[in-house]
Amino acid sequence: MPLRPAIDSSAAWRALHAHRTSFAGTTLNDLFAADPARGERCHATAAGIYLDYSKNHFTDTTLSLLEELAAVAELPEHIVALFAGAPVNRSEQRAALHPALRGAAPDAAIGREIEQSRTRMLALAQALRAGEIRGATGQVITDLVHLGIGGSDLGPRLVVSAFAERRAPSPRVHFVTSLDNTALAAVLAHCVPATTLFVLASKSFSTLETLSNADLARRWLGAAGIAADHIGRHFAAITSKPERAKAWGIADDRILTLGEGIGGRYSLWSAMGLPIAVALGPDIFTELLAGANAMDQHFRTASLRTNLPILHGLLSVWQINFWHHGTRAVLPYVHGLRHLPDYLQQLMMESLGKRVAQDGRELTIQTGAIIWGSEETNGQHSFHQLLLQGTQTVPADFIATAIPHCDAEPHRQLYANCLAQSRALMVGQDRATLEKELLAAGHSGAEAAFLASHREVPGDRPSNTLVLAAHAPACLGALLALYEHSVYVQSVIWGINAFDQWGVELGKQAASAIGAALVGADASAYDSSTRALMARWNSAGARSD
Ligand code: F6P
């Protein structure tokens, strides 16, 4: 796809800037007062997801101008390119094939590779669930320890924890990411070597944390008396580098693969989903993919004004670039979705945290927002004070379920809190009304004015509300696909690559060099802060020897 001029040099971009000025003083309350049916009008539904985007600062003119911006960015053409398997990841000359994992592959060869990989993964999962996989001593595997990090952990972890009540009793599935060995130790304290299988999940098969934990696991098995040439019975691998897994000592029939065109943060739909299929069963894994595929088809075919990923993505661009809101909170009112903010943090920040366009030109506009959040109503007792009365505006995505995913009464309360917070952010509580109430309660004029100044909630703070038809695998699949495609929409508007992550390499290389300097390598080239901190570590080590 030929590269186009920077989007902020376009007339559509300039028109949005001018339009933004027209919003001066127009509040969300004004928009609802001018159109009482706004809430009914400004929603879109697809694949079991209801998106209420009405509590954002936009008018029909805004949407028209965003539509023009999408046309200038050739969004429709880029959507076709994504599903056609074009090299949308220019810096690595790769396609982004996550849609193909749950739907039509761009060509027969890719389709066969995906099908074979999924079939092998589901077969291993089924064998583990049926107690057909035995360790070196012939005992059935009762515990699966998934060793992975980032996209090789967050997706499977999210889905397995989302439906914990539907987990099979055996094998128990555990997740370990940390380089801090106490994390693995805490899990192994509840495992028996003879009945434990480790899954070495690493697309690159070179990630320090995962390989370190795998070595610890191998030593743990050896210390339990499992012979070195039998330890391989206690490992499997999920990787794009099968030759490295084999060299590490994993048997061919235990190596599951995913193609290089599957980005780590987009990989839960691939063989990386093994823990999902083990814990929840092949049917739930298949339902998850079907939900994502339903959102894929919606994304490919729905008009802009009814397209959930496009609406979410374009309104994100509007808020980031024209309202300068540099962060977004993700607030799920479902305990099972407590890991969703972490998952979306990687998906959105590792995809959109870019400063150059696909052709390498440095950008002059803001790109990816800072994504964060927590299970609700926990956040209401933690950071909602800042959301409501802080000096920064933080757009929020509220997520709830229509059908109870828990008992009816707590579900009613959760849903009420979700709506209450979204409304409080928009409507606020004005000072004059507060003063009148305080005066009526007997406070003096000065007291009423003082207290009202502290109690005032400014309001006019935007949010989306996404209501899942049910807390079900298909709805979760659709929700995650919605966010994947919203990310893609934003990347296309900005002209950036959503599928590489060169920045993280620097940290990995630096850590390796500093680690060597901590044990004697030359540190003279480092800055005085790093050198002083190294000395701190060394002196502490000297003291503890
Ligand atoms: O953070 C960098 C990164 O490469 C992520 O993109 C990836 O999900 C994670 O590390 C783990 O990588 P791997 O699956 O290769 O171990």
pLDDT at 4: 82
Query: Which of 158, 207, 497 should be mutated for ligand 1, with most atoms under 8 A from CB?
Result: 207
365: left (phi over 0), alpha (psi -120 to 50) or beta: beta
- Cβ(155) – ligand 1 distance below 6 Å: no
Type of residue numbered 378: N
Residue 410 CA to ligand 1 centre (angstroms): 38
pLDDT at 542: 60
**Token pair of 339, please?**
């890991």
What is the Cα–Cα distance from 331 to 375, expressed in whole angstroms?
6
pLDDT at 544: 60
- Cβ(207) – ligand 1 distance below 6 Å: yes
What is the Cα–Cα distance from 142 to 25, expressed in whole angstroms?
62
Can you give the pTM of this predicted structure? Answer: 0.97
Residue 178 CA to ligand 1 centre (angstroms): 13
What is the Cα–Cα distance from 194 to 123, expressed in whole angstroms?
22
Query: Which of 504, 505, 509 should be mutated for ligand 1, with most atoms under 8 A from CB?
Result: 504
Give the H/E segment covering residue 209: helix 208-223
The verdict on whether 381 is a catalytic residue reads yes
Atom of ligand 1 nearest to the CA of 209: 16
Instruction: With beta carbons less than 8 A apart as the criterion, state whether 461 and 447 touch.
Output: no
What is the Cα–Cα distance from 488 to 242, expressed in whole angstroms?
29
Chain centroid to CA 118 = 22
- Residuewise pLDDT in 10s, the chain (545 residues): 566 889 999 999 999 999 999 998 999 999 999 999 999 999 999 999 999 999 999 999 999 999 999 999 999 999 999 999 999 999 999 999 999 999 989 999 999 999 999 999 999 999 999 999 999 999 999 999 999 999 999 999 999 999 999 999 999 999 999 999 999 999 999 999 999 999 999 999 999 999 999 999 999 999 999 999 999 999 999 999 999 999 999 999 999 999 999 999 999 999 999 999 999 999 999 999 999 999 999 999 999 999 999 999 999 999 999 999 999 999 999 999 999 999 999 999 999 999 999 999 999 999 999 999 999 999 999 999 999 999 999 999 999 999 999 999 999 999 999 999 999 999 999 999 999 999 999 999 999 999 999 999 999 999 999 999 999 999 999 999 999 999 999 999 999 999 999 999 998 899 999 999 999 999 999 999 999 999 999 988 765 65
Q: Give the HSE-up count for residue 27: Cα atoms under 13 Å, Cβ half-sphere.
A: 11
**Token pair of 372, please?**
């964060």
Residue 369 CA to ligand 1 centre (angstroms): 20
Q: Is the peptide bond before 207 cis (omega within 30 degrees of 0)?
A: no
- Cβ(204) – ligand 1 distance below 6 Å: yes
- Cβ(203) – ligand 1 distance below 6 Å: yes
Query: Which of 89, 152, 502 should be mutated for ligand 1, with most atoms under 8 A from CB?
Result: 152
Q: Is the dihedral of CA 60, 63, 69, 74 positive or negative?
A: negative
Q: Which of 209, 287, 350, 435 is catalytic?
A: 350
- Cβ(151) – ligand 1 distance below 6 Å: yes
pLDDT at 545: 52
pLDDT at 2: 63
pLDDT at 543: 56
pLDDT at 86: 98
- Cβ(263) – ligand 1 distance below 6 Å: no
Chain centroid to CA 362 = 26
The verdict on whether 174 is a catalytic residue reads no
The verdict on whether 354 is a catalytic residue reads no
Residue 495 CA to ligand 1 centre (angstroms): 23
